Structure 1
Amino acid sequence: MMTTTSSAVRKTFDIDFPALALPSSGARMGLSCDVKQAWAKVPEPLGQQDRDACRQLIVDLLEQQQAALVAHYYVDAELQDLALQTGGCVGDSLEMARFGSDHPATTLVVAGVRFMGETAKILSPEKRVFMPDLDANCSLDLGCPPDAFAAFCDANPERTVVVYANTSAQVKARADWVVTSSIALEIVTYLHQRGEKLLWGPDRHLGQYIQQQTGADMLLWQGSCLVHNEFKAEELADLKKANPQARVLVHPESPAAVVALADVVGSTSKLIQAVTELPATSFIVATDQGIVHEMQKQAPNKTFIAAPTAGESATCKSCAFCPWMAMNGLAGVANCLQTHSGEIMLDTALGSRALKPIKRMLDFAAAYKKNIRASGDLSRDVHLFSQIGPA
């Protein structure tokens, strides 16, 4: 039996932890941003013999249990390859969600972070959903407690609530819309054109970027991603000067000064697409470096350079690798298939409430792909989304 170790080392990290600030007399409730500590496990490395045994065990168990392995681009390269080898999926969170709900498998193993496993269960409540480690979390999720976020929403009842997918099922259930970075800009454009004022959570950098691009009236929760928040503009500018032929790829969860230096700003999938479509032969990559495995597969003759995550004389927290994504490993996948540990359990009523804003996003994405991309003109086709209905 391959099992994960209970003696794994824990590493702590400082994360942004927004909190409601008490209003002064006559003022509206606002936000303050504290710093709290979160932890992630550091898995023990496996030797080659154990890795080979785990891989074979996973292949056998996936087949025996009619299960599919669904992995994110940020997890270990070995897991990404294994997911594809066994007929599973490697993708961003929206691609993972679509795959899991459409696949005939009766069991899903989600190699990612907790909100991805919950989303898979929300979309496929009839399926069993397991994760290699249920403690694999996300700084955005941890920094957006459901009760505090609900109070923030209650204090601003006139606003349409739009939440990023990197949130708990409870936060999704409180939202009118759920978005991923691959469709957020289009959805906010649509809502802005309808004249809606928005309450956005939890990533402030992504929210600021979308606000700048759309002109939408957005009230922002002040969370941030541990990985993307670390990229440094000054050092990135120096790296650009040292590599003038390289194009800069930036995820919009990064600070505005970093985004301003980008040649391409976009979701994980968009950044991967860019390395195949742009003629450049080298790229500076400002997102989780787990993505480079797929980039190298898509463009094997190109060079990828990690964007800097620490300034002069400073140390990085994550060094551009999500510590919670790193908690996924071969031993954990084998163990959850073998022992049925790490199962995502979700209250049925909660799942039903959380499904509504996710389904609204998926319906919008389908309508956008069908009716908008051919014309390239969102402004003339807002009426095409009327079938989705108001939030």
Structure 2
Amino acid sequence: MTKRVVTLAHYYTQPEIQQMADKVGDSLELSLYAKEAQADIIVFAGVRFMAETAKILNPEATVILPDAGSTCSLVTQTDVAELTLWRKRYPDHVHVSYINSSAEHKAVSDWIVTSRNVDDIIAHLYAEGKQVIFSPDRNMGGYLNDLYGYDMPLWSAVCEVHDKFNEAALAEAFEAVPGEKYLIAHPESPLPVLKKADYVGSTSGMLNWVKAYQGDAKAVIFVATEDGILYNMGLARPTWTCARRRSTPAASATPVPT
């Protein structure tokens, strides 16, 4: 019997991989696609927690992770036994976990959020009078605490790529570029960077910001996230030059209109 195979790829994968995929997206988009896909086999070009999430949402499918060793620092920096003990310190709190976490981590969580819906879900919980603890990303949780005045206790893991961005290096890069410039950033970045950003949002949110941009055609847009997204920005704005800038922090880049 013929089996239907679906290939999923995250925006951060290499362009050649994305070109082969049936669906390219961020964590939320791929999770929803995996849930709805009428597939017998899902090949997931991403890291392990993404493939685990696809299996959770589509348990009847066989999920294949081409690189079995691929992982995320938010996962490797979180010992689930220690996380469970930490959670027990807050018995009256709702445990909200970012989707960038292992299946075992998710199992000791009450809510799972993505960078696209985390604001709305936590706002909903606070509106209901709930107290919240947030894991595993301390940068994302710290940003939400600062932005909305929350008092969420935070687990202390970071995305090692986004955590490398720093305010001083970005300020230096800004000074080196004349004219109009913008900074858009993923909420996994450190708070000083996020407070300087013109837009903070998910991978898809940043891509949509670029698609909708109607400003100065000579402006420089700094992107504080994994540089794999530049391929998609280039597809969205084919008249732009999208390239990694060596003078900025690791993994940063600038789409430059030409």
Normalised TM-score (structure 1): 0.61
Q: Answer whether contact 2:230 2:243 (CA < 8 A) is retained.
A: no
Q: Is 1:285 equivalent to 2:190 in the alignment?
A: no
Given that 2:96 and 2:111 are in contact with CA atoms closer than 8 Å, whether structure 1 keeps it comes out as: yes
Map Cα deviations across residues 29-60 of structure 1 (whole Å, 9 max, x no partner). Answer: xxxxxxxxxxxxxxxxxxxxxxxxxxxxxxxx
2:209 counterpart residue number? 274
The structure having more radius of gyration, on CA atoms, is 1
Aligned length: 246
Contact 2:185 2:225 in 1 (8 A): yes
What is the CA-CA distance between 1:205 and the residue it aligns to? Answer: 0.6
Contact 1:185-1:214 at 8 Å conserved across structures: no
Secondary structure of 1:218's match? coil
Q: How does 1:63-212 map to 2 (within 5 A)?
A: 65-83=3-21, 88-212=22-146
Residue 251 of structure 2, aligned match among 301, 320, 326: 320
> 1:305 deviation in Å?
5.5
> Of 186, 191, 199, which residue of structure 2 is paired with 1:251?
186
Instruction: Decide whether the 8 Å contact of 2:231 with 2:242 is kept in 1.
Output: no
Q: Deviations over 1:271-309 (max 9, x none)?
A: 000001122443111100000000100011224464766
CA–CA distance in structure 2, aligned partners of residues 203 and 164 of structure 1 = 7
**Aligned amino acid, residue 192 of structure 2:** A
Alpha-carbon shift at residue 105 of structure 1 (Å): 1.5
Higher relative contact order (CA 8 A, sep 6+): 1
- SS across alignment from 1:272: helix
Deviation, structure 1 residue 138: 0.3
- Quick one: which amino acid aligns to residue 278 of structure 1? Y
5+ unaligned residues in a row in structure 1: which ranges?
1-63, 311-318, 322-391
Residue in structure 2 matching 1:263, options 181, 190, 198: 198
Q: 1:110 to 1:80 in 2, by over 3 A?
A: same
Alpha carbons of structure 1 residues 261 and 108: separation in structure 2 relative to 1, 3 Å: same
Matched residue of 2:153: which SS? Answer: strand
1:82 positional shift: 1.0
- CA deviation after TM superposition for structure 1 residue 197, in Å: 1.2
1:212-254, CA deviations, whole angstroms, 9 ceiling, x for partnerless residues? 2222220000100010000121110122223332221111111
Say which SS state the counterpart of residue 44 (structure 2) adopts: strand
Cα separation, 1, equivalents of 2:166 and 2:150: 27
Query: What TM-score does the superposition give when structure 2 sets the normalisation length?
Result: 0.91
Q: Pairwise CA RMSD of aligned residues?
A: 1.5
Match of 2:147 in 1: 213
Whether contact under 8 Å (2:145, 2:151) holds in the other structure is yes
- How has the CA–CA distance of structure 1 residues 208 and 124 changed in structure 2, closer, same or farther, with 3 Å as cutoff? same
Mean alpha-carbon deviation: is it higher for 141-150 or for 108-117?
141-150
1:304-356: CA deviation from partner (whole Å, max 9, x where unpaired): 4647664xxxxxxxx329xxxxxxxxxxxxxxxxxxxxxxxxxxxxxxxxxxx
Q: Which runs of 5+ in 2 are unaligned?
A: 253-258
Deviation at 1:107, TM superposition (A): 0.6
